[in-house]
């Protein structure tokens, strides 16, 4: 297929595809999905070999968020039956982080619900970062606390944070349909603040919220312009009790096309499969490893993920290897500034994974038609987290 050959050549040269080419990837048929995966896999292996970076989420503060993000189980007015608790103590957070590190995670992502941190919150998270780094040698730490005020990114960097996550989530044109309590520009500003402070910027998207192919391409091209070191791709987890509970338009093939499009547009960036992979990719998760070079290990913010042991077995069975702490995540031309990027690699997003509070992504169905077997919602795959941080039950890692 001429399209795929062109995109591989551009990816190996770090040349940006055209919008028309990116849209054409999303429009390919299910019959061509293996060809799409094989082509994007050449780009992934060129820049990242067969390494898979493992990341582990610690939800420092769960629920009761004042923001109205439609996709999020922690949102204002959410009726989802999630865990709700206030800030974890630094030692408790470090203990949770240690479980992920023991399971093979190289990066710990510290997430807290809310619009953004107060200065007191930044002090609290700074203490947590220091405790985690003292107790877990070599671990990378990413903070994900919502919108940042002036000077807060610098304080997190001084405390030892390597990265900061804040997702754009969807296109600027449709952002107001998803959230009304802050703006798309607010999110861009926070990513830029993280960059300016020397933190490795992490910013991604949530697919599956009713957006068009054009919206998906718009947000990925906007991310390319922002130049984060990491792009987490969330697939909407349609939690009962949230406005998007009925959004079940994804197929595994659709998810693979979206990941391939992201890889072609961001060839040398850490692409992370984030929330919702178990719900929407299901048994085709191993194919996604040929597109993304990073995943979350175990559970997410408010939902349960695949067993950590199953994640490790999947990686090995697919012929990939877990990236070690002695390996630099990003290619040399991007990794000049620190632990895998400008100052690290990146953190994941919404729950599915999420930024500061949110529950992440799924994918909307334009492009190829859905197969009949995927028409029924798989609500059985959406499980509220009842273990790990904020509970007395051992975490899944």
> What does the pLDDT look like over 13-34, one tens digit per residue?
999 999 999 999 999 999 999 9
Q: How many residues appear in the chain?
A: 397
Q: Does the structure show a pLDDT above 60 at 360?
A: no
Q: Does the structure show a pLDDT above 80 at 358?
A: no
> Coil, strand or helix: which one is 384?
strand
pLDDT of residue 147: 97
pLDDT tens-digit profile of 53-106? 999 999 999 878 888 898 887 777 777 777 788 899 999 999 999 999 999 999
DSSP H stretches of helix in 103-212: 119-135, 152-158, 175-178, 184-196
Give a yes or no: residue 241 inside a domain.
Answer: yes
Please pick, among 65, 144, 355, 364, the residue that the annotation labels catalytic.
Answer: 65
Residue 347 among the catalytic residues: no
Please pick, among 202, 339, 347, 355, the residue that the annotation labels catalytic.
Answer: 202
Q: Rounded to whole angstroms, how far apart are CA atoms 291 and 314?
A: 15
**Residue spans of beta strands (DSSP E) within the chain:** 51-61, 107-112, 140-144, 163-165, 200-202, 205-207, 230-235, 270-273, 294-296, 321-322
Give a yes or no: residue 386 inside a domain.
Answer: no
Give a yes or no: residue 390 inside a domain.
Answer: no
Q: Structure tokens of 198?
A: 């020397």
Q: Rounded to whole angstroms, how far apart are CA atoms 334 and 227?
A: 10
Residue 364 among the catalytic residues: no
pLDDT of residue 27: 98
Of 147, 140, 255, whose CA–CA distance to 205 is shortest?
A: 255
**Cα angle for residues 19, 349, 27 (degrees, 5° grid):** 30
- Between the alpha carbon of residue 196 and those of residues 177, 185, 210, the distances in Å are 29, 16, 33
Please pick, among 75, 107, 109, 254, the residue that the annotation labels catalytic.
Answer: 109
Q: Structure tokens of 124?
A: 């609290």
Give a yes or no: residue 388 inside a domain.
Answer: no
Q: Structure tokens of 393?
A: 């039950």
Q: Which of 150-154, 240-244, 362-366 has the lowest mean pLDDT?
A: 362-366
Give a yes or no: residue 133 inside a domain.
Answer: yes
pLDDT tens-digit profile of 232-282? 999 999 888 888 888 999 999 999 999 999 999 999 999 999 999 999 999
CATH number of the CATH domain containing 303: 3.20.20.70
Residue span of the structural domain in which 140 resides: 2-381
pLDDT of residue 375: 56
Q: Does the structure show a pLDDT above 90 at 52?
A: yes
Q: Does the structure show a pLDDT above 60 at 370?
A: no
Flag whether the pTM goes above 0.85: yes
Give a yes or no: residue 116 inside a domain.
Answer: yes
What lies within 8 Å, CB to CB, of 321 at 6+ separation is 50, 51, 52, 315
Would you say the C-alpha torsion 214, 216, 218, 220 has a positive or negative sign? negative
Give a yes or no: residue 72 inside a domain.
Answer: yes
Of 46, 36, 10, 33, whose CA–CA distance to 293 is shortest?
A: 46
| Region label for 288, one of left (φ > 0), alpha (ψ between -120 and 50) or beta (otherwise) | alpha
Residue 202 among the catalytic residues: yes
Give a yes or no: residue 396 inside a domain.
Answer: no
Please pick, among 69, 266, 347, 355, the residue that the annotation labels catalytic.
Answer: 69
Residue 65 among the catalytic residues: yes
Q: Rounded to whole angstroms, how far apart are CA atoms 108 and 355?
A: 14
pLDDT band (50, 70, 90) for residue 305: confident
Residue 254 among the catalytic residues: no
Please pick, among 75, 107, 124, 142, the residue that the annotation labels catalytic.
Answer: 142
The domain total for the chain is 1
> Coil, strand or helix: which one is 320?
coil
Backbone angles phi, psi at 346, to 5 degrees: -150, 165
Q: Does the structure show a pLDDT above 80 at 352?
A: no
Please pick, among 44, 157, 257, 272, the residue that the annotation labels catalytic.
Answer: 272
Please pick, among 72, 255, 339, 364, the residue that the annotation labels catalytic.
Answer: 72
Burial class (CB in 10 A: 0-12, 13-18, 19+), 68: middle
């Amino acid at each position: 297929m001429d399209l795929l050959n062109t995109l591989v050549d551009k990816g190996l040269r770090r040349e940006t595809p055209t919008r028309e080419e990116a849209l054409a990837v999303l429009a390919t048929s299910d019959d061509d999905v293996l060809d799409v995966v094989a082509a994007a896999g050449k780009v992934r292996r060129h820049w990242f070999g067969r390494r898979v970076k493992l990341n582990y989420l610690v939800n420092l503060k769960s629920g009761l968020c004042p923001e109205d993000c439609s996709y999020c189980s922690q949102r204002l007015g959410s009726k989802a039956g999630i865990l709700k608790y206030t800030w974890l103590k630094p030692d408790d957070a470090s203990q949770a982080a240690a479980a992920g590190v023991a399971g093979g995670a190289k990066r710990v992502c510290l997430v807290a619900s809310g619009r953004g941190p107060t200065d007191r919150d930044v002090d609290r998270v700074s203490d947590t970062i220091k405790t985690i780094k003292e107790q877990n040698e070599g671990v990378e730490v990413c903070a994900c606390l919502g919108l940042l005020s002036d000077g807060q990114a610098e304080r997190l960097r001084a405390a030892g944070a390597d990265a900061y996550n804040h997702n754009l989530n969807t296109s600027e044109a449709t952002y107001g349909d998803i959230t009304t309590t802050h703006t798309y520009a607010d999110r861009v500003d926070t990513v830029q603040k993280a960059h300016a402070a020397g933190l490795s910027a992490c910013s991604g998207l949530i697919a599956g919220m009713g957006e068009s192919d054009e919206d998906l391409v718009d947000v990925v091209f906007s991310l390319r312009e922002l130049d984060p070191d990491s792009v987490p791709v969330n697939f909407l987890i349609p939690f009962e009790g949230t406005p998007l509970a009925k959004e079940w338009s994804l197929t595994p093939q659709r998810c693979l096309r979206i990941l391939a499009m992201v890889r072609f547009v961001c060839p040398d960036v850490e692409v992370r499969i984030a929330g919702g992979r178990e719900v929407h990719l299901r048994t085709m998760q191993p194919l996604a490893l040929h597109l993304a070079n990073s995943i979350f290990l175990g559970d997410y913010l408010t939902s349960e993920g695949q067993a950590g042991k199953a994640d490790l077995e999947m990686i090995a069975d697919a012929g990939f290897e877990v990236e070690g702490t002695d390996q630099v995540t990003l290619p040399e031309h991007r990794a000049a500034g620190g632990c895998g990027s400008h100052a690290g690699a990146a953190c994941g997003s919404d729950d599915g994974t999420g930024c500061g509070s949110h529950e992440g992504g799924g994918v909307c169905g334009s492009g190829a038609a859905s197969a009949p077997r995927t028409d029924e919602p798989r609500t059985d795959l959406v499980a509220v987290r009842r273990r790990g941080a904020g509970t007395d039950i051992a975490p899944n890692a």
